[in-house]
Amino acid sequence: MKLNPRRKIAGTITLPGDKSISHRAALMGLLVDGPLTITNYSDGADCRATLEAVKSLGATVQGDSDNLTITPADKIVAADSVIDCGNSGTTARLLAGLLSGCGVAVELTGDESLRSRPMDRIINPLSEFGAKFDNPSGTLPLKLLGGPVGAIGATGATGSINYTMPVPSAQVKSALLLAACAGGGTAIVTEPIATRDHTERMLAHLKANIQVSAPRVEIQDDPHDPRKKTRTVLDNWQSRVTVHGNGKLSAAAIDIPGDISTAAFFFAAAAIGKGEVTITNVGLNQTRTAFLEYLKSIGCAVAIDQRREISAEPRGRVTVTGAPLKGRKISGEFSARLIDEIPIIATVACFAEGPTVIRDVAELRVKESNRLESIASNLRLMGAGVGMIDDDGLVIEAKGEMQPADFKSYGDHRIAMSVAIASLFLSGDSTLDDAECVSVSCPTFFELLDKIAHG
């Protein structure tokens, strides 16, 4: 695809449904007590893979992404011996949890990229929970043995796990919670660093037996000033989720907000181009809005109105107005909250004053591509100064006007979308070797980009 500079950025758009929420809605369609209606389901290839998996497990799927109805079978049974998860790690990991719970014997596989990504992060805790796998290698293909032994707990219904997350992962947490719901067991998951909570919200919306706890806090008089209080957090974790599986979930309708991770690319265009972009009905879950915090911290204005909550997920209208940008440091918990947005943050850094330092993102090496290497390679083609920090970070700094380039997507949708945004502000025409890979999360990406990028 030829990519042309278009430096005037302005417009209002509405995005397809949130990818993370869409995956979870489809999978929970297997566990409800009747037809489940889903509005604004993501039209990306990853979420279509989840729908195909749901159909292969006996559910009937009717309608389109605007309005889907999933009707579960009386019992979850795999029609085929193998389920292909395509390129979707979320499909594979969450499905492994759900199927471990209900004791279905099946093999999960995926495309070449997905087969290279780590699965031991779910294999280990699910095995601890009682699931049985056939000689797992730590990657796909992954064969679940099923039957009473493979179900949660020795009897298939009474198992329990009390698991503290070693690294932040909403997918691992969700796999354990879905396993408990499907198998009738109990999962207690403690997070030292909180991750996105779409699974917990949706389970509560569908009337699961779920409790979400915050750490205990002690308030005392300040010994140095009796007019003040001191606040002490007594627990060294941020969130604890407990789910008791006790039958079918209630089939309440689910309305999915626009994808905030996809919104980041269009907001980045406003930031770099000193323009203004408004996105309506976009998700505002507090575990997903770190990119808006980042934009404010580097100089942009962010305005939010029309706030409301539907199907337990907050949403609203967000307007980002660009300005002269400044580099900043990103690390620790903030990096974990921004993990999906790091490719576009690195792109924005090429148009900011001063260096941007990104640490604690080693997880990017095992995404759809090695995103640290993919990012660095493309930004260097533009003329940016890019250095690796140990094995888990980047330092990026502009080196004058950024130059056009022949970009490579590495088959990774977020890399392709990031360089497409960069191309708007280069000194000439660029190319992208594989524009089609954006269909993994947002098939209409380039159409939406045309609505906000002009001249």
Q: Which amino acid is at 8?
A: K
| Residue 340 falls in the annotated catalytic set | yes
Query: Helices then strands (H, E): number in the chain?
Result: 15, 25
> Could you tell me the two tokens for 336?
């974990």
Catalytic residue among 46, 197, 340, 412: 340
Residues 32 and 57 sit within 8 Å (Cβ to Cβ): no
Closest CA to 138 of 96, 180, 168: 96
Say how many CA atoms lie within 13 Å of 317 toward its Cβ: 8
**DSSP label of 266:** H
> Could you tell me the two tokens for 328?
């900043």
Distances (CA, A) of 135 to 108, 123, 127: 13, 11, 12
Residue 171 CA to residue 20 CA, distance in Å, equals 10
Residue 20 CA to residue 344 CA, distance in Å, equals 18
Residue 176 CA to residue 184 CA, distance in Å, equals 12
Distances (CA, A) of 127 to 130, 161, 176, 267: 5, 10, 10, 41
Report, as residue numbers or ranges, the catalytic residues. 340
